[in-house]
Structure 1
Amino acid sequence: MTTSLDCLNLASMGSERTDEELMLAYAGGDMIAFETLYRRHRGTLYRFLLRSLRQRADADELFQETWSRAVAARERYRPEAKFSTWLLQIAHNLVIDRFRRSRPHASAEETDLLFSRLDAPESEQPDRVLSEFEQRRRLQLALEELPEEQRVTFLLRMENGLGLEELSEVTGAGRETVKSRLRYALARVRARFES
């Protein structure tokens, strides 16, 4: 019989193992390993999907689909790349499929609603909060103007800290293509802030 102390020990062991070890353990039937992976990566994955798709309902749907596909592929998983890269590659492929079917566009009202939900520290001066709000708004507009491939590559780099090799793996594009996409995306974002 498993006691609550045993469960606590198993849960703490899961936090010490690498993502790759956890995924292999999950493939072997260890549900706690999956729960640990889910806790570690749910925020990063959801932010990537929300910023890529800009529609909360679409992000919710693809978030669930990404995890479903990870679960379905658990027995075929091989730690040839970092788990986070593998998971983001699944999500990226789903995003690309969604764009191919119909390209979504966030309205100004939806964007404003999303930014209004972001917590601003209460101690800041109203003009500084407005300035930061304007910066976030400009960034969102700049992201919306980027071509799909540049936006996804930019978000993967900036939010997930992926290097060129990892970006290449996730997007399926060559290293030089990834560098070009990042360079063009950064130039467009800078131009938006200078105008």
Structure 2
Amino acid sequence: MQAKSIDQPSDGDLMQAYAAGDASAFETLYDRHALPVWRFVQRSVQDTALADELVQDVWFSVVRQAAHYEPRARFRTWLFTMAHHRMVDHWRSHKPHASLDAETEDGATLADMLAAESGFGPERRLDSREQAQALLDALAELPAVQREAFLLQAEGGFSLNDIARTTGVSVETAKSRLRYARTRLRETLEATA
């Protein structure tokens, strides 16, 4: 979660400024939240092109709803909730068919994108890529509701209450989904180590 300094306006203030016509406020919001939202959607749908399309729809929704925005919850929660709803809408109308090892336009796989760049030699980078691919494979094996709870916390920094509110379930259900996701990820990664 990004710390807010005294000079930086809150997300809610920026959204209200944007609604009042300040285009730079939208740019600041976008800069703050674009990457975490994209990663959440991309890792949920497992298709870069589809993630780009869905996230673009989310940001268009932000633009369309700016005049009606009321800061009842944190902006980040509101934004990730819109992303969740957009994915649900997509899944209702399309059957998922993406592959984790599908190449992007530049020939890289998602594992390549996740592997941390470092000053270590090729062996270390290979280990990092293998670990990233193992994590992606383990994420892909999770039931969608568990994967979503895990990604909301890992990518969005969401609390259990935020996860529950975003996905429309009770806090206990969100807690169970998160616990099962962590357990299954740990077991899967230990088995492949």
TM-score range with shorter-chain normalisation?
0.7 to 0.9
Computing the radius of gyration over CA atoms, which structure comes out larger, 1 or 2? 1
CA distance in 2, matches of 1:119, 1:174: 35
Residue in 2 that maps onto 1:159: 155
Which residue is 1:6 aligned to?
Answer: none
**Which consecutive residues of structure 2, in runs of 5 or more, have no partner in the other structure?**
1-6
Moved over 6 A (4+): none
SS of 1:176's equivalent? helix
1:170-189 equivalent positions in 2, closer than 5 A: 170-189=166-185
- Tell whether 2:88 aligns with 1:92: no
Aligned-residue identity in percent:
44
Q: More displaced, 22-31 or 58-67?
A: 22-31
**Deviation sequence 1:2-31 (CA, Å, 0-9, x none):** xxxxxxxxxxxxx71100001011111221
Aligned position for 1:31: 23
Provide the aligned length of Structure 1 versus Structure 2.
Answer: 181
* TM-score normalised by L of structure 2: 0.87
Question: In structure 2, what is the equivalent of residue 136 of structure 1?
Answer: 132
Deviation at 1:167, TM superposition (A): 0.9
Across the aligned residues of Structure 1 and Structure 2, the Cα RMSD in angstroms comes to 1.7
Q: Please name the residue that 1:66 is paired with.
A: 58
Equivalent position SS for 2:120 = coil
Answer whether contact 2:142 2:184 (CA < 8 A) is retained. Answer: yes
Paired position in structure 1 for 2:12: 20
1:39-87 residue CA offsets vs partner (Å, 9 max, x unmatched) = 1111111111111111111101111100111111112111111101100
Report how far residue 103 of structure 1 moved: 3.2
Compared CA separation, residues 120 and 23, structure 1 to 2 (3 A): closer
Provide the residue aligned with 1:115 in structure 2.
Answer: 111
The structure where helix makes up a greater share of residues is 1
Question: What is the CA–CA distance in structure 1 between the aligned matches of 2:10 and 2:100, rounded to whole Å?
Answer: 41
Matched residues in 2 for 1:154 and 1:23: separation? 27
Alignment partner of 1:106 is 2:102: no
- Using structure 1 for the length normalisation, give the TM-score: 0.86
Q: Shift of residue 101 of structure 1?
A: 2.1
